[in-house]
Amino acid sequence: MSATENKYAFGMIGLGVMGRSLLLNMADHGFAVAGHDKDTGKVDSLNQEAGDRAAKGFADVKEFIQSLTTPRAIMMLVPAGKIVDAVIEELTPLLDKGDILIDGGNSHFTDTNRRVEELEAKGLHFFGMGVSGGEEGARRGPSMMPGGDKDAYAVMKPIFEAIAAKVNGEPCVTYIGPGASGHFVKMVHNGIEYGIMQVIAETYEILKKGLKVSNEEIGELFAKWNEGRLQSFLLDITKDIFKYKAPGTDHLLLDDIKDEAKAKGTGKWTSQVAMDLVTPIPTIDTSVSMRDLSKYKSVREKASAIYNEPIELQGDKEELLVALEQAFYFTSIVTYAQGMHLLTKASEEFKYDLHLGEIAKIWRGGCIIRSAFLSDIYNAYSKDQTLPHLLLDSDIAALVKETLPGIRKVLSATTAAGVGAPGYASALSYFDAFRSERMPSNLTQAQRDYFGAHTYELIGKEGTFHTQWAPAND
């Protein structure tokens, strides 16, 4: 796919950091590429960075379209929502039947479903593709999750496999499934990302407030953990954060950053659809809630003045650090397991026919949630493609049993000391309910029948039943 008569084989709309980085990645691999952005500054940046590579930026959309070989292949990397629809509306009159349009942003999967139908009716090939890895991933090798038009993906496969991150020589990209499956999988990826980030933040809180560990020691501990079974991209960048001091200062930049976390919505979407699919993902839900709670800074300050009390974990420090590593690993396992369970249910509900082992495989490199543990997930689903829940795999179960004492010890200590650890707590509570052969939900059913005549079912007897629970009036 080289330039032919000054024509380019692939086009990108949106030349922000991600779009520009992906184009340059493609150019590095010998593909002739063009980009378009209404911001002439971004167009100029691409042209300057391209150097002698076969990559060119265009400020005029018609010139951009005319520069592409046919059938055209164009990817959009613009903010999700109305902007995507606006770009599609502007593009479609300029395109011909058979052209390929790709949405590489974080679009909500329901929007992707709608766009698939609308563009198919116009004779255009369309698919949504999740892209993970941030700026560095886009430039050096991302993880990509394309879903939708399978024929269109087959055309794009050589480019995507060339630019993807590689693990053991295998590209971190695979066809996910029909419809909006690519964007759905990326959404769940982001939900897992929320969960792991929350656990890291809580670990920081436990170390700093509960164990009075210095920033330097925290950074060293994260670096040590990152060399073992907890190895992950998120832990790797965290250890770097604990080294960075702004020029001219003698303290960590981290200490100057407001404790009010922002979000773009993909975590919330994950929680919303999980509820629609009746699939519990409480650790991910909690992580979304804690970002929301962080925004109420003034309220928290007032509450702190009212409820302030000394905080210090009791117990042997070294023993607690060992337990904390176990607790971190346990909670990571449960967070991934919740995400994979949601993918299992979505595959059934939406007929995605997801291959969870392949999804875990492409997440091992390039993406934000890449970790050593993903190889264990890949192995679990490779053994049993119909595994209903990751925690039922025997090898995963062995890891869970090994780390259970740690999570129980840590939560006992944090609860007694008054250190908030909602992500950790949600993971353990989920697990303890998950392993319960008989939950107390029979009482819930009895209550529902009492106040609303909603009926209940009986053990070993077919049918539904209703009871007049209130005692008769004397």
Q: What is the pLDDT of residue 285?
A: 97
Q: What is the pLDDT of residue 311?
A: 82
- Active site includes 227? no
Q: What is the pLDDT of residue 145?
A: 95
Q: What is the pLDDT of residue 122?
A: 92
How far CA 133 is from CA of 190, 253, 274, in Å, comes to 11, 23, 24
Q: What is the pLDDT of residue 293?
A: 96
- Active site includes 193? yes
Q: Is 317 annotated as a binding residue?
A: no
Task: Of 69, 34, 68, give the one whose Cα is nearest residue 53.
Answer: 34
| Choice among 193, 268, 325, 361 that is catalytic | 193
What's the CA gap between 453 and 451, in Å, rounded?
A: 6
Placement of tokens 């190889």 in the chain:
375
Q: Is 133 annotated as a binding residue?
A: yes
Q: Is 29 annotated as a binding residue?
A: no
Instruction: State the fold for domain 439-473.
Output: 1.20.5
What's the CA gap between 262 and 460, in Å, rounded?
A: 50
Q: Which CATH architecture does the domain made up of 10-175 adopt? A: 3-Layer(aba) Sandwich (3.40)
Q: What is the pLDDT of residue 268?
A: 92
Q: Is 106 annotated as a binding residue?
A: yes
Q: What is the pLDDT of residue 4?
A: 46
Q: Which residues contact 381 (CB under 8 A, 6 or more apart)?
A: 340, 355, 356, 357, 360, 387
Q: Is 251 annotated as a binding residue?
A: no
| Choice among 62, 135, 136, 186 that is catalytic | 186
Cis peptide before 158 (omega within 30 of 0): no
Q: Is 448 annotated as a binding residue?
A: yes
* Whole-structure pTM value: 0.93
Q: Where are the domains of the chain?
A: 10-175, 185-435, 439-473
For 128, the enclosing helix (H) or strand (E) is: strand 125-132
> Under a CB-based contact definition with an 8 Å cutoff, are residues 122 and 96 in contact?
no
Q: What is the pLDDT of residue 263?
A: 78
Name residues of the chain where pLDDT drops below 50.
Answer: 1-4
Instruction: State the fold for domain 185-435.
Output: N-(1-d-carboxylethyl)-l-norvaline Dehydrogenase; domain 2 (1.10.1040)
